[in-house]
Amino acid sequence: MVLLLTGAIDIRNFDVPSTTIVNIDERLSQYLHSIEYAICNYRTISEIVFCENTDYNFDYTNLQQKALRNRKKLEILSFIGNYAIIQQKGKGFGEGEIIKYALNKSEILCKCDTFFKLTGRLIVKNMDEIVETTQSANSFIYHPKTIYQIPANHIETFLYKVSKDLYIKHLINAFERVDESRSRYLEHIFYEQLSKFDLYSFKLVPRISGFSGSSGNSYVLETRELILQKINYCIGVHNLKKTIFEKIMTQLLSLLLKIRRLLK
């Protein structure tokens, strides 16, 4: 399986909106850790593409050699993103630009039909279990606004599995509609583009380790939150396509949460 890691290492000279982690050493260390972790720990991942949009000069030879020793291939792509527009529209624009560039330039992605995409500074503790239990070519984590008390339905973009065919036909230019100053995030555009498809989420809660570039908060779930997430995954909250049982359970959960908010 192919894994695409996206990144932006040196953003010191760019005023990227909604970004709290800007220290270059910290960002570089997190990206290198994520790449090395993927090489050494993701048994089901055979090829890794790391694409970053600040054209940062770094020698990845040691990591590429480590990949070979682990019978894997590591491809590095680097370019300068359109930061004039990223500053106007937000980092979701940059994210989409990176993936479009990778699809056009990567030798690895050129040869595959599907791939996993992961935000480059994150690691997934249970990646192998997720890969092995995800049979569909396309899996996205849907967050309904009624459950998560958010302004609009959205699909998470930090981790997903997608076929190149679906991505190129429906998502490759979605980032051009991002405008974070007007609360038009990439996650919202993804939902608008994919809501017409019968798509499932992962069967397991992704055990993410790392920090949000926007808030600086840890992705690691506390015990209570992890239990709630397991329930949500179990009853199909995150599926765009739901069985009758999943629809009923999601509606019931939504009603219970609404009653709870009214009683506070």
19 residue type, one letter: T
Angstrom distance (rounded) from CA 71 to CA 181? 44
> Residue 222 has what pLDDT?
84
Angstrom distance (rounded) from CA 97 to CA 173? 8
200, β-bridge pairs: 139
Angstrom distance (rounded) from CA 55 to CA 52? 7
The answer to whether the predicted template modeling score (pTM) of the entire model surpasses 0.85 is yes
CB 155 within 8 A of CB 187: yes
pLDDT in tens, 214-264: 656 677 788 888 999 999 999 999 999 999 999 999 999 988 888 888 787
Domains detected in the chain: 2-221 (3.90.550)
Angstrom distance (rounded) from CA 178 to CA 79? 21
Cα radius of gyration (the chain): 18
Q: Could you say which DSSP state residue 180 is in?
A: G
